[in-house]
Chains A and B, each alone.
Chain A
Amino acid sequence: MDKFKVIIVEDDKLELKGTQQILQTEVPEAEIIGTASGETDFWRLMREGQPDLVLLDLGLGGSTTVGVDICRQLRARYADMKILVFTGEILNERLWVEVLSAGADGIILKTGNLLQRDDIVQVMHGRHLVFNEPFLEKVMARFRKVVCKEQAAVDAFVEYEIDEYDERFLRHLALGYTKDMIAGLRLMPFSTKSLEKRQVDLTNRLFSERERSGVNAVRLVVRAIQLHIIDPDNLVADEQ
């Protein structure tokens, strides 16, 4: 790897010292041309000389989002500049999304093994989405959750023997349709009466014998949502 210039943006002196040590000991190719503890400092440094890599902390001074702003402006002005976020915001997931949208090349969380030579090398070789292990673990946990939910929906269809009419019926119930209205749908070739039967039948399938008494349409729909049979994020009526 060739030599390159770095600016470190970090407001905590002790942490800055640690980061500098990491770079000095593990990435000897890096030349630290300046360090900034805030926005003003940083832009002053930028006027003095352009770095190849900016190691950016997100929360600076009184605000958590200064880093995001810096990142956005940097990306707008210097499309090729490498920006690696190195942050202690290990709980604020929303901030990660923001800074990635603002054009950061990767996020290294200040936990676990912290910043490693490998991370810097990858970014300098032009890779996007460089993350360290703690970050990936968190992303995986979320990913797993979503996948499991989708699987649960599939399982529920099988286990409770849900057909497309059941799904359509429940979905429209959730949207506030009356049974008369549902019976009038193009893809629902049933009378109101048989829809009532279907509702009773669904109740019997989705609830155990002891739970069944007093289950109304609302309770039924809520149960369907709990079992992932219908997706509350994706509630759309059929086109007529």
Chain B
Amino acid sequence: MKAKATLLSLMVLFIACSQVDEREEAVMKCNDLAYRLRYSDISASLHAAKEAYSCSKKNSDGQAEALNNMAYVAYQQMRYDRALRLLNRVYGFSHNQLELLCADVLTMKVMQRIGNGKSFFDARLRAQKRLQRILSEEASLTDRQKHRLHYALTELHIVASTYYYYLGQDSAACSEIQEAAQYVNLDTDTTQWLYYNYMIGSGGLVTGTPEEVAVTEFNHLFRVYTLAKANHFTYFEANALQSLSAMVADSLRANWIKQQRIDAYSYLYGEHLQWQSDSTLSLRHQFAAALSHHAVALFQEYRDLFQTACAKRTLGEVYFSAGHYDEALKSFLSALHLASDRKRSPYQVIPWLAGIHENLSLTYSALGDKTNADSHRNTYLDLLDQSRQNRELDSRKALLDQEAHSEQMQFLLLLLLAVVVGVLSAIYYRQLGHRSRSFEQKVREISSSEVCQEAEQKLQMLLQQSEEQLEESREECQVMEQRILQQQQRHIFGSTKLSVVYAIIPYLDRVIAEVKKLDEMGENAPARLSYIQELCSGMMGINDRLTNWIQMQQGRLNLQVSRFPLSDVLNVISMQQYAFTQKQLTLQVPETNLQVKADKPLTLFMVNTLVDNARKFTLEGGKVSILLDSTDDYVEVSVCDTGIGLTPEDVKTLNDSKVYDPSHIGVAGEEKGFGFGIMNCKGIINSYKKLSSLFNVCDFGVESEQGKGSRFWFRLPRVLPLLFFLLFNLCVQSMPQRCYELYDSTYKANLDGRYADACLFSDSAISLTEAPVDTPLLVSLYNEQAIAAQALGDWDSYRLSNAECVRLHRLYSTDGTLASDCKKLEKMTEDSRVLYVLIFLLLIASLTLFYRVVLRHRLRHRASLDDLYQRLSSVLRSFPKNAAMMDSELRSVARSLQQPQLRESVQQLRQQFSSRLSHLQETEVAIQDAQEKEKRWSFEHDRLYVMNQILDNSLSTIKHETMYFPSRIKQMTDEMKENGFDAETSHNLLDLVNYYRHIYMLLYEQAKGQTDQAPLRMQAVAVGNLFAYAQSHGVASQPTDAWVKGDETLLLLLLDQMFAVASANATLSIEHRGSMYYIIYNVEGQPLSAQQLSELFSPQTERLEYLVMRQIVREHDTACGHPGLRLEAENTEQGYRIIFSLLAANQR
């Protein structure tokens, strides 16, 4: 080292005293020295370059070379900004293409390292252009210049190869490195030879079986190591060691090498015995760590920060694979610290940083530090995202290559164009006579022209699309119709059950009357008591049947639970503003992006009920506001008002009692009556809780202070939005609900630390998802899977999932930036543009001449025809934008024409389109109709659904709350029978029965409120349709053209009930009497017994179906204004028949 420095100072002295020529030679020598020393002693190299710079003439080639050398040193020291500044100076003054080429290559190196793919390709393009020029004059170069050229060429290909290698494009990387092979030469330039061999050895560029690859790479590295060591090329020595270390850490590869190159392996092992420090490691790992340690030391000596960091990372990876996570963590952290020292450079080595963050994330999770692991994983994903721009540049690169190719074609093109112009002119001249006629022909045949066909195709496509859309909308409508149907059925079943509930009331009234009379007439007491007991048995019988029927349906899942943003519900609520302003009230609805898991229509119902109540009980000038409060588990929705408030007793009743009289709630003297709203809301919350433990957080409550206002609140389980999606700002549109839910589960499992579950969920979700439609979901799923695998320490599956995640992410992020690339392309190829412009000018000039001399007057005649043609084709071309006006446009064109033939052909064209156009419009109207219909039905469905839900809740409350009364009454009467009459017991009995009736009536009215709100959809119904339905169920019927008034859905349901009771050997017929039609359902078989007949349609009946029939007929009777519709059953000679009547209607 000292010798070199002395040599250098001598040279400086020498330069100072020398003449101009000698001086130039000295600069050259300094530069050569700087070049030779760059891989062995970086500071000496810098020193030499600086000397060369200071001694060289201003703006000379020597100075450019010196700057290049200095920039190289800056690059090695990670001072990328300084390197670029230096290179810019070279670009600023130098005209030496060779030095500029070197500068380009160095720029590429810098850009490659900081992950700026765009500038990388810019520099590469420049370099390639320059190369072409230089190579064309290669013969005139001096030896030194040739040497420099070869250096630039190898460097160019090697850096490109590196770039592709990191991008994962192995084939491109291989072809680049093969290009480099022809320029390296061990004798003339040892450093470049080392560089080349190191590159091959460092991986990814050799093909063959894994074993062959490992051995070949090892050979290359070993060769580099020995040669570099002998020649003191510290940089390559260290690099080779680092790569060897990674190789040794891999047990499989290490074994292959041991088998085939035991000599070299043991030589290396022997050399590094002194470096081995950690005896807790296995021998192989000790060896690998020793190699890395050595590499680190060498790089530190050489003062290449980046490579030191790289070597430390390799060391960390060695520790990691040995399972020494603490040590690994230390190494990774110190590597990260070295590489991300921001003071040194504003540029970051992004791809490398991404890798080290991934290492850190893995290490932390291996150490069980979940927080740090997650935070590093997030950084890793962010960095990946930053470097994705590389993908965009791939397409751009392809374009640039194409451009280079096309330049070669320019000359040919020029020739070709000249020929074409000549030929065209000739042809044009010859055909001039036919032109006008042919144009006329063209207009006449426009209907078979390409433009027209295109327009027709578009029209066809539009028609097809809209037909498909219509089909789709109709299908959706049908689905909705089916759902409404289900709800209607549910509703009628509910109403039927309610009618059974009502059947108890007359019995209760009888009991009350009898109990009252017990007091008055003692001697009849035993008879009365046993009558009361009979009544109780009757009630219990009804109760039992009711319980059975209610339980029959409980197995079904009735709630429609889904995840939805709360804003969906709140937006509907804010539409009520007007009603509030009318009452001089303010309604405040917050904006939110909270999401909950619940039943959407029911949630809307609850908020609506609470807001309505608040409005009712708030005085003018008051305020009603909805507030949201959330924890990780639930969202609490509160409706607050500044209203009259409630007494503490009322609050207690509302919060604690299951059943209460809502007309007793409210401040005395003021307007009372809370309605059943609060009871219904509580019922809904309870049914959530019954559904699943997921809804354990659900709750409902009331807080209030008299005169100040109230707060009614309820809680629903909260779900988090998909975090990973936000991270990448990816927009997720439609996604299969199931996968979505599985993703949720995965995410939640990961959050809760149930990683094994998470793996399971994500596996099944991945198997359900179809790429590429759901790429974002897949990316997220693989990410979650990777996180789970990482946490479980399952490194293999981590690697698989992560690789898939990264691959898909790249795939998805590739976006079509082709348009902007084309623009850039135009800018860049100005040279060729000038040529094009010349060609065009030539063309235009000759055409103008041609036109002026020969064609002008004939052309003018043709112009009008041309104009017509253009008008027509523009009309056709602008289709379908002008679809609405197309017909009128064509008509106006036809009108403006003089020649009848032409006019006729335009008319023909018009006819060709008009019918299909109107069909298109009709279809669009139909689509709108269908969509509106679907919207309406969805609304009606929700309404019915909410009613049914509440009805079911109320029925279930009735069942729970009143079941026990009849047996209690019976018990008391038993006591009275035994102990004889006494006034107190009788009094208690009366109280009990009265209380029972009160509660019962209350609950009945709550439920009744729901059935009253669903009116029938009465219209004229063709009995033929009903009979056809019967036919499809195997029930014979006569043809009929009768029409009746009714709700078709319910009538079909009525038939269903009949078929359910008996459908074998049954026939349907119809009779007309007065204004009524009697529909007769004849069943052949066993006649019904007298008891069956008398109880068939009463609550004592055996089957619910009969009561449903009765309910449907009764509702029809009510809807028609009680004309006296009948439902009867009677025995016939062969069996029995059920008859029901309907009002006749006019044919629709």
The answer on a CB contact under 8 Å between A18 and B531 is yes
What residues on B are CB-neighbors of A68 within 8 Å? 1124
The answer on a CB contact under 8 Å between A11 and B1098 is yes
Since A21-B531, A61-B1097, A62-B1097 are in contact, a sample of 17 more A-B pairs with Cβ atoms closer than 8 Å, ordered by chain A residue number, is A11-B1098, A12-B1098, A15-B506, A15-B507, A15-B510, A18-B510, A21-B528, A61-B1096, A62-B1109, A62-B1128, A63-B1117, A63-B1127, A64-B1122, A65-B1117, A88-B506, A111-B506, A114-B510
Select from chain A the residue with minimum beta-carbon distance to B1008: A91
The answer on a CB contact under 8 Å between B584 and A210 is yes
Query: Chain B interface secondary structure, helix, strand, loop or mixed?
Result: helix
Check A110/B506 contact, CB under 8 A, given A11-B1098, A17-B531: yes
The answer on a CB contact under 8 Å between B506 and A12 is yes
- Pick the most buried of B521, B1122, B1140: most chain A CB atoms within 10 A of its CB: B1122
Report the Cα distance A11→B1094, complex, angstroms.
7
The interface bits of chain A over 54-75 (1 if a CB of B lies within 8 angstroms of the residue's CB, else 0) are 0000000111111011000000
Select from chain B the residue with minimum beta-carbon distance to A18: B510
Check A113/B1098 contact, CB under 8 A, given A14-B538, A21-B531, A66-B1126: no
Within 8 A of A (CB), among B1089-1148: 1094, 1096-1098, 1109-1110, 1113-1114, 1117, 1122, 1124-1130, 1140
The answer on a CB contact under 8 Å between B620 and A14 is no
Report the Cα distance A25→B521, complex, angstroms.
10
Within 8 A of A (CB), among B523-555: 524, 527-528, 531, 534-535, 538
What residues on A are CB-neighbors of B146 within 8 Å? none
The answer on a CB contact under 8 Å between B509 and A62 is no
The answer on a CB contact under 8 Å between A110 and B1117 is no
The answer on a CB contact under 8 Å between B1124 and A65 is yes
A226: min CB distance to chain B, Å: 13
Within 8 A of A (CB), among B306-349: none
The interface bits of chain A over 62-100 (1 if a CB of B lies within 8 angstroms of the residue's CB, else 0) are 111110110000000000000000001010001100100
The answer on a CB contact under 8 Å between B513 and A113 is yes
Interface membership of B505, Cβ < 8 A = yes
A206: min CB distance to chain B, Å: 15
Check A211/B1117 contact, CB under 8 A, given A62-B1097, A98-B1122: no
Interface membership of B774, Cβ < 8 A = no
Check A112/B531 contact, CB under 8 A, given A63-B1117, A63-B1126, A210-B620: no
The answer on a CB contact under 8 Å between B1122 and A94 is yes
A–B complex contacts, Cβ < 8 Å, 14 sampled? A14-B538, A15-B507, A17-B531, A37-B1094, A40-B1130, A61-B1094, A61-B1098, A61-B1128, A62-B1096, A63-B1124, A98-B1122, A113-B516, A210-B584, A210-B620
Residues of chain A touching chain B, judged by Cβ–Cβ distance below 8 Å, are 11-15, 17-18, 21, 25, 37-38, 40, 61-66, 68-69, 88, 90, 94-95, 98, 110-114, 210-211
Within 8 A of A (CB), among B400-459: none
Picked from B513, B1122, B1127, the residue with its CB within 8 Å of the CB of A62 is B1127
Within 8 A of A (CB), among B1048-1062: none
The answer on a CB contact under 8 Å between A61 and B1127 is yes
What residues on B are CB-neighbors of A64 within 8 Å? 1114, 1117, 1122
Check A14/B1117 contact, CB under 8 A, given A25-B521, A63-B1125, A113-B513: no
Report the Cα distance A88→B505, complex, angstroms.
8
B620: min CB distance to chain A, Å: 7
Report the Cα distance A114→B528, complex, angstroms.
15
Select from chain A the residue with minimum beta-carbon distance to B514: A18
Select from chain A the residue with minimum beta-carbon distance to B1114: A64
What residues on A are CB-neighbors of B1128 within 8 Å? 38, 61-63
The answer on a CB contact under 8 Å between B524 and A110 is no
A31: min CB distance to chain B, Å: 20
B513: min CB distance to chain A, Å: 4
The answer on a CB contact under 8 Å between A65 and B534 is no
Report the Cα distance A37→B527, complex, angstroms.
23
Report the Cα distance A37→B1090, complex, angstroms.
11
Check A25/B524 contact, CB under 8 A, given A14-B534, A17-B531, A211-B584: yes
Report the Cα distance A37→B1098, complex, angstroms.
11
What residues on A are CB-neighbors of B513 within 8 Å? 112-114
What residues on B are CB-neighbors of A65 within 8 Å? 1117, 1122, 1124-1126
The answer on a CB contact under 8 Å between B1129 and A110 is no
A35: min CB distance to chain B, Å: 11
Within 8 A of A (CB), among B847-876: none
The answer on a CB contact under 8 Å between A69 and B506 is no
The interface bits of chain B over 499-519 (1 if a CB of A lies within 8 angstroms of the residue's CB, else 0) are 000000111011001101000
Report the Cα distance A110→B503, complex, angstroms.
12
Report the Cα distance A37→B1125, complex, angstroms.
18
Report the Cα distance A38→B1098, complex, angstroms.
12
Report the Cα distance A61→B538, complex, angstroms.
17
Within 8 A of A (CB), among B954-972: none
What residues on A are CB-neighbors of B506 within 8 Å? 12, 15, 88, 110-111
The answer on a CB contact under 8 Å between A38 and B521 is no
Report the Cα distance A65→B1123, complex, angstroms.
8
Select from chain A the residue with minimum beta-carbon distance to B1111: A62
The answer on a CB contact under 8 Å between B535 and A14 is yes
Report the Cα distance A95→B534, complex, angstroms.
29
Report the Cα distance A237→B1127, complex, angstroms.
46
- Pick the most buried of A18, A66, A210: most chain B CB atoms within 10 A of its CB: A18
Report the Cα distance A28→B946, complex, angstroms.
54
Select from chain B the residue with minimum beta-carbon distance to A62: B1127
Select from chain A the residue with minimum beta-carbon distance to B621: A210
What residues on A are CB-neighbors of B524 within 8 Å? 25
The answer on a CB contact under 8 Å between B1126 and A17 is no
What residues on B are CB-neighbors of A98 within 8 Å? 1122
What residues on A are CB-neighbors of B1127 within 8 Å? 61-63
What residues on A are CB-neighbors of B1096 within 8 Å? 61-62
Picked from B510, B527, B620, B1124, the residue with its CB within 8 Å of the CB of A69 is B1124
What residues on B are CB-neighbors of A111 within 8 Å? 505-506, 509
- Pick the most buried of A38, A64, A66, A94: most chain B CB atoms within 10 A of its CB: A64
What residues on B are CB-neighbors of A112 within 8 Å? 509, 513
The answer on a CB contact under 8 Å between A21 and B527 is yes
What residues on A are CB-neighbors of B527 within 8 Å? 21
- Pick the most buried of B527, B1114, B1128: most chain A CB atoms within 10 A of its CB: B1128
What residues on A are CB-neighbors of B510 within 8 Å? 14-15, 18, 110, 114
- Pick the most buried of A69, A94, A114: most chain B CB atoms within 10 A of its CB: A114
What residues on B are CB-neighbors of A62 within 8 Å? 1096-1097, 1109-1110, 1113, 1126-1129, 1140
What residues on B are CB-neighbors of A21 within 8 Å? 527-528, 531
Report the Cα distance A11→B1125, complex, angstroms.
18
Report the Cα distance A108→B528, complex, angstroms.
21
Check A17/B521 contact, CB under 8 A, given A62-B1109, A62-B1129: no
A163: min CB distance to chain B, Å: 28
Report the Cα distance A65→B1117, complex, angstroms.
9
What residues on A are CB-neighbors of B1094 within 8 Å? 11, 13, 37-38, 61
Report the Cα distance A95→B1124, complex, angstroms.
10
A101: min CB distance to chain B, Å: 12
- Pick the most buried of A21, A63, A111, A113: most chain B CB atoms within 10 A of its CB: A63
Select from chain A the residue with minimum beta-carbon distance to B1005: A91
Select from chain A the residue with minimum beta-carbon distance to B1138: A62
Report the Cα distance A112→B515, complex, angstroms.
11
B372: min CB distance to chain A, Å: 62
B1112: min CB distance to chain A, Å: 10
What residues on B are CB-neighbors of A38 within 8 Å? 1094, 1128
What residues on A are CB-neighbors of B1098 within 8 Å? 11-12, 61
Report the Cα distance A90→B507, complex, angstroms.
13
- Pick the most buried of B509, B528, B1096, B1114: most chain A CB atoms within 10 A of its CB: B509
What residues on B are CB-neighbors of A37 within 8 Å? 1094
Report the Cα distance A76→B524, complex, angstroms.
40
The answer on a CB contact under 8 Å between B1122 and A17 is no
What residues on A are CB-neighbors of B528 within 8 Å? 21
What residues on B are CB-neighbors of A113 within 8 Å? 513, 516
